[in-house]
């Protein structure tokens, strides 16, 4: 009896941090389908956790990762009302993209784990059915994400679960989710290197919010407007300039919040010199994911320039125009 779960990566296009700290502000995210995580769970004679990352540039504390996986499994079991406390489990977790860099590794793992446990759950005839499996899996994934992010909005795991572009806004009753496509610019995702923990970065932004309420209020208004504009521009194949302006605006705010780095700035400026329209931090910031906008006809040349500069290109999210 084996439970299997798979999920994908993601990136935040616009609205990061604000979507978690200000419920009235939405954000936009897209899936990265070629970035994958998987979890396999089965009953065993002794508890065992195996983890494998095939992303060659990753460095991580394997024992710390295994401890996170063990804690996550207990939390997901509680969420899905599974009692395996007396039953040893063998869990195998695999991932093919950077960990803790803004590409959705924790959200993807949380969804894969929850799907695998749900799969195992359905094979146990003595266990009653869940009322709404989709909502239960998402709830389980969100609870797992709290280990990594403290107070996540849910946009990461939701994007990884549905594997579609979404406009996301928190709500006390039920989060607002609207599926959307990118019909405008291509989006190139690169890795700017290691960063601080997401929970630490979120805490730093929260401190900024509390200590500088006037500036924060200004940022809220600007980000809210930028998210709205971006959601419209993404639907128009001729809105490259407008979309680029919203990305510049977002990055300027994230920079003022201390979430950019000299390396990120160098990557963006280099990309612009090679034809990129604009670029910004994606996700928690402080390193990791950076997105670059490109007109579709310029993308191949720009990607090659980035590769020649030894800038790791993680994925290309193509426009559908």
For the cut 60, the answer to whether the pLDDT of residue 147 exceeds it is yes
Calpha distance 119→201 (Å, rounded): 34
- List the one residue out of 229, 249, 248 whose CA is nearest residue 239: 229
pLDDT score of 128: 63
| Topology agreement, domain 2-179 and domain 186-317 | no
Calpha distance 160→108 (Å, rounded): 6
How does pLDDT run across 198-241, given as a tens digit for each residue? 778 888 999 999 999 999 999 999 999 999 999 999 999 999 99
Non-local CB neighbours of 61 within 8 Å, separated by 6+ positions = none
Q: What average pLDDT does range 283-287 have in this prediction?
A: 91
- List the one residue out of 155, 130, 29, 20 whose CA is nearest residue 76: 130
Non-local CB neighbours of 68 within 8 Å, separated by 6+ positions = 147, 148
Q: Which sequence spans correspond to the domains of the chain?
A: 2-179, 186-317
pLDDT score of 105: 94
pLDDT band, residue 126 (cuts 50/70/90): low
* The domain defined by 2-179 carries CATH number 3.40.50.150: no
- List the one residue out of 58, 30, 97 whose CA is nearest residue 318: 30
> Strand 313-317 to strand 186-191: parallel, antiparallel, or no bridges (unpaired)?
antiparallel
pLDDT score of 197: 76
| Angle, helices 105-122/155-162, rounded to nearest 10 degrees | 60
Mean pLDDT rounded to a whole number for the chain: 92
Query: Greater confidence, 254 or 125?
Result: 254
pLDDT score of 71: 93
Query: Measuring CA to CA, how many Å separate 169 from each of 137, 155, 247, 293?
Result: 19, 8, 19, 24
Q: What percent of the chain has pLDDT over 70?
A: 97
Report angle CA 257, 258, 259 to the nearest 5 degrees. 95
Contact of 306 with 188, CB cutoff 8 Å? yes
If one counts every other C-beta atom within 10 angstroms of the C-beta of residue 176, the result is 12
The H or E element spanning position 20 is helix 18-21
Contact of 26 with 176, CB cutoff 8 Å? yes
Q: What average pLDDT does range 90-110 have in this prediction?
A: 94
Q: Which CATH architecture has domain 186-317?
A: 2-Layer Sandwich (3.30)
Contact of 50 with 126, CB cutoff 8 Å? no
How does pLDDT run across 152-162, given as a tens digit for each residue? 899 999 999 99
pLDDT score of 56: 66
Report angle CA 155, 160, 161 to the nearest 5 degrees. 100
- List the one residue out of 153, 167, 158 whose CA is nearest residue 235: 167
pLDDT score of 85: 65
Q: What average pLDDT does range 259-270 have in this prediction?
A: 96
Contact of 113 with 95, CB cutoff 8 Å? no
* Gyration radius from the chain CA atoms: 20
pLDDT band, residue 127 (cuts 50/70/90): low
């Amino acid at each position: 009896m084996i439970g299997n779960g798979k999920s994908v990566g993601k990136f935040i296009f616009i609205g990061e941090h604000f979507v978690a700290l200000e419920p009235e502000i939405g954000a936009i995210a897209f899936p990265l389908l070629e970035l994958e995580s998987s979890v396999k769970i089965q009953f065993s004679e002794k508890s065992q956790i195996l983890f494998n990352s095939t992303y060659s540039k990753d460095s991580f504390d394997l024992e710390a990762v295994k401890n996170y996986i063990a804690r996550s499994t207990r939390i997901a079991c509680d969420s899905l009302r599974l009692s395996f406390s007396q039953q040893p489990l063998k869990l195998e977790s695999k991932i093919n993209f950077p960990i803790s860099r803004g590409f959705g590794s924790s959200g993807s793992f949380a969804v894969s784990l929850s799907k695998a446990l749900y799969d195992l759950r359905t094979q146990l005839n003595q266990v009653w059915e869940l009322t709404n499996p989709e909502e239960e899996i998402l709830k389980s994934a969100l609870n797992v994400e709290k280990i990594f992010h403290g107070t996540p909005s849910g946009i990461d795991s939701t994007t990884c679960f549905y594997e579609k572009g979404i406009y996301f806004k928190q709500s006390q009753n039920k989060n607002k989710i609207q599926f959307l496509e990118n019909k405008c610019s291509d989006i190139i995702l690169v890795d700017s290197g290691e960063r601080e923990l997401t929970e630490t970065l979120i805490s730093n932004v929260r401190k900024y919010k509390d200590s500088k309420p006037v500036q924060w209020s200004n940022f809220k208004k600007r980000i809210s407007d930028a998210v709205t504009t971006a959601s419209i521009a993404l639907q128009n194949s001729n809105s490259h300039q407008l979309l680029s302006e919203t990305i510049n605006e977002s990055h300027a705010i994230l920079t003022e919040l201390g979430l950019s780095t000299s390396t990120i700035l160098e990557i963006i400026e280099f990309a612009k010199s090679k034809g990129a329209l604009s670029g910004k931090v994606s996700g928690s910031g402080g390193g990791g994911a950076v997105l670059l906008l490109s007109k579709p006809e310029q993308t191949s040349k720009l990607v090659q320039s980035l590769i020649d500069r030894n800038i790791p290109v993680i994925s290309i999210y193509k426009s559908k125009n």
